[in-house]
Structure 1
Amino acid sequence: MALSMELRCWGGGWGLPSVHTESLIVLAYAKFSGAEVVTSPIDWTWKTLTATVPELACGESTVTDPTQILNFLRKQRFNADYELTARQGADTLAYIALLEEKLRPALLHTFWVDAENYANVTRPWFASHSPFPLNFVVPCRHANLAISRILLTKGESPLNRINEIEAKLYTDAKECLNLLSYRLGTGVYFFGSSPTSLDAFVFGFLAPLCKASLPSSPLQTHLSQLENLTQFCENILALYFSSDQPASPSVQETKDANLQKLTQLVNKESNLIEKMDDNLRSSSPQHKQHRLDPKPSLANENSTPA
């Protein structure tokens, strides 16, 4: 009997099953490989501060980090890469390394360092999904970790400050997106007609950038111009995650507002029709009550005056 697998990760938002890149990678690969994974969001728990996600629990085993989780799933015979050739396997490793080196620093800057995006999108989301008082701590902690990671990977001398390396971050990221777009071409997936681990990694990196409503993002603007990559993300969402996603709050609120307006309009029209009908009835001659003159009684007609 197969052991049940539980994936702890950040929850969904922005039309995605998770807003977290690493969580998206594992969720997508689980779908591609047919692994039955129970998703347990860490939202509203104290794990939002201390947990390392994604975290896959299976029996007495607990695995973290997307690469290790994917290897664990392969050992459980959930393998989305079994048809890849040796050359395609090597290409997969090369492109994943490219994503980590060129694209991740720019994504961290976009969501956690850019002041406008952080204040209007990233911080409000993570704060609203963390319990009090962690809602004041978690976003700041993630932002500090993002800055440290960027400086660790890209802050070599003399580019040793965030504002000095920002231009280089986005130049490298745009080049990475161009290479991915060229490699994907007109294909649905990167290797043939079935998605693989590379598709899971690319989806995890690109989907938040595609779907988040960022007020300031040259990288998002560049991605929107690469139609095959944006369509790639939309296809995966439609094919593998559409049944998992309830209507978003904004869409549902719009529907409710429209229904309320329609109801109010119908009520107003109904009241207007009733008033018009009353006015017509009151002004119509056949509906006026005439005072009838009393008829003389027969007794009075036959009686003789005294």
Structure 2
Amino acid sequence: MQEPRARGPLVDVSLVAEVFISQITAAEPWPENATLYQQLKGEDILLSDNAASLAVQTFLQMCDLPIKVVCRANPEYMSPSGKVPFIHVGNQVVSELGPIVQFVRAKGHSPSDGLDEVQKAEMKACMELVRNMLLAAELYLQWCDEATVGKITHARYGSPYPWPLDHILAYQKQSEVKQKMKAIGWGNKTLDQVLEDVDQCCQALSQRPGTQLYFFNKQPSKLDALVLGHLYTILTTQLTNGELSEKGKNYSNLLAFCRIIEQHYSEDHDKGNSPIGLS
């Protein structure tokens, strides 16, 4: 199968209205060759990208939809929106969790359909909290914390490219992210302030599930997938120090949540040995 290109005949459904998506996709079955594209794994993937990819993979597994994960050196340049991960399903290309959830729902798979309106509003608020706090903290650490930038980020981001392109692209990306951090009011934050924001986010999230397996009812939702993606990545990614992961480890029910979701939905997981260190 030919891989999708950044510009071509494939449709970028992240820019298409939900009604149109439903009309063109609902009748089509989920193909066996559906593919998810992400960066190279291991030490070449950045914190925020790993979290996003894990969230999408977990959501698709919750919907019992098979997906083949393909790692590429330049997936953000392959993606029509410039965002990763993205999925290639039939003749459709869809990037990021929100549009992918919408796309999957059009095909009749929506774990959140059993929620009432109050629960849906609460779920939306929790998802915004994760994006505004955890994702922002990941981007800050990757591109604004000089120790992490110098020892980890530039090397990882530039690893697929030859010199001097590796340096040029890394500095361009850093400048882009710093502008976004300024736009959301994070431009002048200190590392301690960012870590405090992460702690407050984890504290708020820990109050939601209590002793339940999932955040809402007895069924998983897109919120569970999103939280798992970011928390699990924060807990298991090696950075210049362990301060970020320690924030998440302070909340026992969030640790238990990550371990259980991982055991249920991670294809690569050995159920007897959790890399989060909870066994």
Please classify the TM superposition score into its range, dividing by the shorter chain length.
Answer: 0.7 to 0.9
- Normalised by the length of structure 2, the TM-score is 0.73
> Residues 172 and 124 (structure 1 numbering): CA distance in 2 closer, same or farther, change over 3 Å?
same
Tell me, yes or no, if the aligned pair for 1:170 and 1:219 is still in contact at 8 Å: yes
Matched, 1:210 2:240: no
Greater Cα offset, 227-236 or 164-173: 164-173
Look up the match of 1:25.
55
Secondary structure in structure 1 of the residue aligned to 2:268: helix
Matched, 1:42 2:72: yes
Look up the match of 2:130.
99
Amino acid paired to 1:145: E
Amino acid paired to 1:30: L
Q: Percent of counterpart pairs with the same letter? A: 21
Secondary structure in structure 2 of the residue aligned to 1:193: coil
Look up the match of 2:111.
80
CA distance in 2, matches of 1:135, 1:106: 24
Deviations 1:115-172 (A, max 9, x none): 22233333333344x24345434443433333222111115xxxxx43x455543333
Look up the match of 2:196.
171
Question: Which residue of 233, 243, 246 corresponds with 2:268?
Answer: 243
Q: Shift of residue 200 of structure 1?
A: 0.8
Look up the match of 1:183.
208
Q: Shift of residue 107 of structure 1?
A: 1.8
Tell me, yes or no, if the aligned pair for 1:126 and 1:139 is still in contact at 8 Å: yes
Tell me, yes or no, if the aligned pair for 2:37 and 2:85 is still in contact at 8 Å: yes
Count of residues in Structure 1 that have an aligned counterpart in Structure 2: 234
Deviations 1:62-114 (A, max 9, x none): 22232011110111122222322222211110101111223322221223322
Amino acid paired to 2:41: G
Q: Shift of residue 30 of structure 1?
A: 0.4
> Residues 140 and 186 (structure 1 numbering): CA distance in 2 closer, same or farther, change over 3 Å?
farther
Look up the match of 1:220.
245
Secondary structure in structure 1 of the residue aligned to 2:114: coil
CA distance in 2, matches of 1:135, 1:31: 34
Question: Which residue of 225, 246, 255 corresponds with 1:230?
Answer: 255
Matched, 1:58 2:85: no
1:136-155 correspondence to structure 2 within 5 Å: 136-155=167-186
Look up the match of 1:120.
151
Q: Shift of residue 191 of structure 1?
A: 1.6
Amino acid paired to 1:38: K
> Residues 90 and 42 (structure 1 numbering): CA distance in 2 closer, same or farther, change over 3 Å?
same
Matched, 1:9 2:38: yes
Amino acid paired to 2:104: L
- Normalised by the length of structure 1, the TM-score is 0.67
Tell me, yes or no, if the aligned pair for 1:154 and 1:165 is still in contact at 8 Å: no
CA distance in 1, matches of 2:225, 2:206: 15
Amino acid paired to 1:23: S
| Cα root mean square deviation, aligned | 2.7
Amino acid paired to 1:7: L
Listed as ranges, the gaps of 5+ residues in structure 2 are 1-27, 271-279
CA distance in 2, matches of 1:3, 1:233: 28
> Residues 123 and 233 (structure 1 numbering): CA distance in 2 closer, same or farther, change over 3 Å?
farther
Look up the match of 1:277.
none
Greater Cα offset, 189-198 or 166-175: 166-175
Listed as ranges, the gaps of 5+ residues in structure 1 are 156-160, 246-306
